[in-house]
Amino acid sequence: MLSRPPAALPGLRPIPLIGASVALFRLFADPLATLPRLYREHGEIAALNRGDGSWVCAFGPRFNKQLLPRAASFEHATDMPIPLPPDSALERTSHSLTMVNGDEHR
């Protein structure tokens, strides 16, 4: 599957003086723009923050076939670190197949 350590993955560049934590705010603010940008600029496997493998995105059918059947191997945070605006794009996508665990995922 993944042949390089997560910290070596390409990803969005942290903003100077603010650091890597801003990538979560970018994602929360506009996930429907951030995720396609991440794929377009960095390919099928990319970290949300360059040099930080804690949030990694895998795009495309090849990875879906590898990752989705192994749901028990990947735990997703069920609580978002900040409240999501009701009916926002992120709130709607937080209930998708790739963002839930256990029986709900199955």
| pLDDT attached to residue 88 | 78
| pLDDT attached to residue 52 | 75
d(CA 29, CA 35): 11
pLDDT value at 68 more than 60: yes
Query: Does residue 98 sit in helix, strand or coil?
Result: helix
User: pLDDT band at residue 36, thresholds of 50, 70 and 90?
Assistant: very high
- DSSP-derived letter for residue 66 is H
Q: Which of 47, 71, 43 is nearest to 57 (CA)?
A: 47
| pLDDT attached to residue 39 | 93
d(CA 57, CA 17): 25
